[in-house]
């Protein structure tokens, strides 16, 4: 029996129904593509002084009710062995600003996040023939009091808005019920897609278009496609040789990634998760002779001219995560270019986020996964 998951233990958990509902909403958001991996967070108010929130660094498919954390709204103290989401301050600020709000969804959904990188204060768009205005809260580092303050002020200023974008980060969707918050998330994504089409003249799909990927097995390279070209095999060999920590490579040739590989020479992060997972700066070589020298220790992507990008990680999940974030980052980059300007993250902030992610956040999911395997074996 897995730790903390027996039926007897579950029956004694306070707010069991509310905890399970948060998990159900998270999985619904996963199914429609608005939540992936461990990114984003969900909460619900339990009374005037407390709220439940998803934990930090645990995949949504692995959540159980005992992992949902009860947080004190006044002093941010919490109960249980699991740490609450790093954005608990943002949720608290939202509940304080909106007394009628009982459910909050925070996502890193693609089009709304990309619209929030353009340096604008509001997104003017439409949804089902109705005009929509989405406020954009000023940027601050994730998990900080400054970000929470920015969110609180934005929600207090735009009292009729039940959804806002956090600049260079993601969305915050509010409702009296989970259905209201979920509707806000879906509405914002459609409206922001419409905005990008109209203002930035781009109708660009999102998602990883995987081509020639590989992984290491007992020290040997196993290619996902049997007839992988020799030119591509050479690139894989160079990556594994220069990055001994890499065990999986995902070759991403999505439309946005291909466009950047053809037309750009340098990418600076426009989104927090790009800086965290991929690196603080990515160069795009102008010719294949420069490829080897662009394999960097702290950059998890290698662009190849007119051939997309090779995204890598210590396991398949990490490599796929890098590929997903890169696709979104490239959509944001193209939108900024076509808009004429974008709000790029500072080098200092990128370095700080990247170091913090490598040191702390990226290890949490692996720790939980290993603990669960140990419990199953005992």
Residues 165 and 273 in one domain: no
* Confidence (pLDDT) at 38: 79
C-alpha angle 335-337-341 in degrees, rounded to nearest 5: 95
Domain finish residue from 137, 166, 199? 199
Rg (CA), the chain: 21
> What is the average per-residue pLDDT within 251-266?
95
Q: Which residues pair with 174 in a beta bridge?
A: 104
Domain assignment present for 208: no
Is the domain of 88 the same as that of 195? yes
- Number of separate domains in the chain: 2
Assigned domain for 227 exists: yes
Of the residues 148, 176, 199, the one at which a domain ends: 199
Residue 206 lies in a domain: no
Among the options 14, 61, 87, 255, which is catalytic? 87
Residue 87 is among the residues annotated as catalytic for this protein = yes
Identify which has the larger pLDDT, 369 or 328. Answer: 328
In a domain, 371, yes or no: no
Question: Is the confidence at residue 368, as pLDDT, over 90?
Answer: no
225 and 116, same domain (yes or no): no
DSSP string, 78-129: B-SSSPBPTTHHHHHHHHHH-TT--EEEEE--HHHHHHTTS--SEEEEEETT
Of residues 114, 8, 20, 37, the one with CA closest to residue 357: 37
**Same structural domain for residues 37 and 93?**
yes
Q: What does the pLDDT read at residue 362?
A: 55
Q: Are residues 160 and 31 in the same domain?
A: yes
374 domain-assigned: no
**Is 40 within the bounds of a domain?**
yes
Do both 190 and 218 map to the same domain?
Answer: no
In this structure, is residue 315 part of a structural domain?
Answer: yes
pLDDT at 328: 97
Confidence (pTM) = 0.91
Grade residue 290 by pLDDT with cuts at 50, 70 and 90. confident
* 229 shares its domain with 195: no
Question: Where residue 26 falls among pLDDT bands split at 50, 70, 90?
Answer: very high
Which domain CATH number covers 52?
3.40.225.10
Q: What is the pLDDT of residue 370?
A: 47
pLDDT digit string, tens, across residues 35-58: 877 789 999 999 999 999 999 989
Q: Classify residue 1: in a domain, yes or no.
A: no
What pLDDT was estimated at residue 287?
A: 87
Q: Considering the chain, what percentage of its residues have pLDDT values greater than 90?
A: 83
Q: Are residues 195 and 313 in the same domain?
A: no
Check whether residue 195 and residue 221 sit in a common domain.
no
Q: pLDDT at position 68, please?
A: 96
| Residues 161 and 249 reside in one and the same domain | no
Mean residue pLDDT across the chain: 91
Give the pLDDT confidence of 316-366 residue by residue, as tens digits: 999 999 999 999 999 999 999 999 899 999 999 999 999 988 887 555 445
When pLDDT is cut at 50, 70 and 90, the band that residue 9 belongs to is low
CA distance 171 to 105: 8
The domain containing residue 122 runs over which residues? Answer: 7-199
Do 296 and 167 belong to one domain? Answer: no
Query: 23 with 162, same domain?
Result: yes
Last residue of a domain, which of 199, 228, 243?
199
């Amino acid at each position: 029996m897995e730790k903390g998951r027996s039926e007897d233990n579950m029956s004694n958990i306070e707010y069991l129904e509310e905890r399970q509902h948060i998990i159900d909403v998270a999985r619904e958001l996963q199914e429609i593509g608005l939540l992936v991996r461990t990114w984003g967070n969900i909460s619900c108010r339990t009374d005037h002084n407390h709220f439940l929130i998803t934990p930090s660094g645990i995949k949504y498919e692995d959540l159980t009710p005992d992992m949902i954390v009860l947080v004190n709204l006044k002093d941010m103290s919490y109960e249980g062995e699991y740490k609450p989401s790093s954005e608990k301050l943002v949720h608290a600020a939202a509940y304080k600003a909106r007394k009628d709000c009982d459910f909050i969804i925070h996502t890193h959904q693609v089009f709304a996040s990309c619209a929030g990188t353009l340096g604008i204060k509001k997104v003017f768009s439409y949804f089902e023939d109705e005009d929509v205005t989405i406020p954009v809260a000023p940027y601050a580092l994730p998990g900080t009091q400054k970000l929470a303050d920015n969110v609180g002020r934005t929600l207090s200023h735009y009292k009729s808005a039940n959804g806002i974008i956090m600049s260079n980060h993601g969305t915050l969707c509010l409702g009296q019920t989970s259905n209201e918050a979920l509707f806000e998330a879906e509405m914002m994504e459609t409206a922001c897609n419409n905005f990008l089409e109209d203002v930035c003249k781009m109708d660009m799909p999102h998602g990883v278009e995987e081509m020639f990927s590989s992984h290491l097995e007992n020290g040997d390279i196993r290619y996902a496609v049997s007839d992988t070209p020799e030119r591509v095999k050479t690139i894989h060999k160079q990556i594994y040789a220069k990055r001994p920590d890499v065990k999986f490579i995902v070759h991403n040739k999505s439309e946005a990634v291909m466009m950047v590989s053809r037309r750009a020479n340098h990418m600076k992060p426009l989104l927090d998760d790009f800086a965290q997972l991929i690196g603080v700066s990515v160069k795009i070589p102008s010719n294949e002779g420069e490829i080897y020298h662009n394999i960097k220790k702290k950059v998890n992507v290698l662009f190849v001219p007119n051939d997309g990008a090779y995204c890598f990680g210590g396991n398949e999940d990490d490599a796929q995560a890098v590929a997903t974030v890169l696709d979104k980052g490239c959509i944001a980059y193209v939108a900024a270019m076509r808009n004429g300007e974008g709000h790029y993250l500072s080098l200092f902030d990128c370095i700080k986020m990247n170091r913090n992610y490598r040191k702390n956040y990226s290890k949490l999911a692996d720790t939980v996964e290993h603990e669960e395997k140990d419990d199953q074996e005992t």
